[in-house]
Amino acid sequence: MKKNLLVLGMLVCSFSMMAQTKDTDKKETWYFKLGGSYFIQTAATEFPIVSGALPNTEVYAANGTTLVSRETNHGSFGEGFRTGLNVGYRFTTRLGVEMGVNYFTGKEKTMVETVNRLVAAGPIFVTGTAEGRINALDLAPAVVLFLGETHGFEPYTKVGVIVPVYGDLTIKTNRTYTTPAGNVNTYAKDVVLPNPTVGFMAVLGTSYKLGKNISLFGEVEYRNFTVHGKSKETKEYTENGVDKLNTPTTFRGDASYSASHVDYVEQLNSGSNNVLFNPNTATTNITTDTTRPNEAMNDISSYVGISGLGFTLGLKYSL
């Protein structure tokens, strides 16, 4: 009996020592991850209206009025490159949390394209494109579940939210106006600022130990959120390379505050500062002026999708 108790006690002590050793190997710890990602777009949707132009590619015949073809432009602004720094804290062998700081540079997407449309007597024809690109800085808190280490590999899953803290949609519009007097090339750079939003992320990844504290990691990440436009400002406008931002022109219209600023609203009505409801009938410009030129023009609020599937590679350092 005493011999059996002694053996049992030795086994208990052995298991305790093994558990303590295991806990020491996988104790609570901080870690840091630095990586680069490329995302492909998912869940493509129709692009929003750009300065009154529908998100279409339209081709006109030689007369400028006969529509030859029309195609709706779809896509997601979630395609592009991202760099990120993550700080993580591992509570146990299986559970941890991370806070990511990411900067995303999206791929340019054609939102509107027009070929040979007649826009005014003269005659004046226009051909051009409007291309948009998202740039964003976000925070990404997440919960991490580690699935166990085997032969240096340790797979894990991660779910969390995406909170953009800075970002914009930059739309660059290049047009060529063909007139009897010659061509006029115009360029406009519009910057759309967003309302606050929150997105979702889900990750499946693994790390591979290269040394005592250094690991290589790879992740597949799905992220999805939409951004609601708040305001838009024209930062640049040129004609044949000459700055015309503050100069009235035939092709852009007046140089008032409303010509360069837009406040997005949910509904347009008789109280809105918009040419469809309050046109200035005295204007002769291609772009019709508003009746309240010292106020921002109103336009319908729109959403853009930033969903994507990303592939990340990087290094992890554990303390």
Cis peptide before 123, with omega less than 30 degrees from 0?
A: yes
Q: How confident is the model at residue 285 (pLDDT cuts 50, 70, 90)?
A: low
Residue of 274 and 89 predicted with greater confidence: 89
Alpha-carbon gap, residue 290 to 52, rounded angstroms: 13
Residues 6+ apart with CB under 8 A from 249: 239, 255, 285
CA distances from 175 to 62, 167, 172, 178, 239 (A): 17, 26, 10, 10, 9
CA–CA dist 275, 221 (Å, integer): 44
Residue 61 half-sphere exposure toward CB, CA atoms < 13 A:
5
* 207-213, long-range: CB < 8 A, 24+ apart: 207/153, 207/154, 207/156, 207/316, 208/152, 208/153, 208/154, 209/149, 209/152, 209/154, 213/317, 213/318, 213/319
Report the C-alpha gap between 177 and 252 in whole angstroms. 11
Residue 277 confidence class, pLDDT cut points 50, 70, 90: confident
Segment 81-95 mean pLDDT: 95
Q: What is the pLDDT of residue 140?
A: 97
Q: Do residues 231 and 258 lie in contact, with contact meaning Cβ atoms separated by under 8 Å?
A: no
d(CA 193, CA 233): 9
Beta pairing, strands 95-106 & 124-146: antiparallel
Higher pLDDT among residues 111 and 289, named by residue: 111
pLDDT for the residue 100: 97
Q: What DSSP assignment string belongs to 1-31?
A: -HHHHHHHHHHHHHHHHHHHHHHHHT-SEEE
Read off the pLDDT band of 227 (50, 70, 90).
confident
Beta-bridge partner residues of 64:
none
What is the distance between the alpha carbons of residues 254 and 268, in angstroms, rounded to a whole number? 22
Residue 162, judged by CB atoms within 10 A of its CB (0-12, 13-18, 19+), counts as buried
167 sits in the region (left: phi over 0; alpha: psi -120 to 50; else beta) called left
Q: How confident is the model at residue 226 (pLDDT cuts 50, 70, 90)?
A: confident
Query: Domain 27-318: which CATH class?
Result: mainly beta
Contact indicator for 161, 207 with CB cutoff of 8 Å: no
Confidence check: pLDDT of 172 > 80: yes
Measured distance CA(34)–CA(312) in Å, rounded:
10
pLDDT at 281 > cutoff 50:
no
Convert 190-213 to b/e letters by CB count within 10 Å (16 or more is b).
bebebeebebebebebbbebeeee
68-83 tens-digit pLDDT: 999 999 888 999 999 9
297-300 vs 261-265, strand pairing mode: parallel
The 8-class DSSP code of residue 301 comes to -
> For position 286, what pLDDT does the model report?
53
Q: What is the pLDDT of residues 16-35, one digit of tens each?
A: 344 444 444 456 799 999 99
Mean of the pLDDT values across residues 147-169? 94
Please report the DSSP string for 59-77 in residue order: EE-TTSSSEEEEEE-EE-T
Provide mean pLDDT across the span 274-286.
63
* Per-residue 3-state assignment (H helix, E strand, C coil) for 167-216: EEEEEEEEEEEEECCEEEEEEEEEEEEECCCCEEEEEEEEEEECCCCEEE
**C-alpha to C-alpha distance for 172 and 139, rounded to whole angstroms:** 27
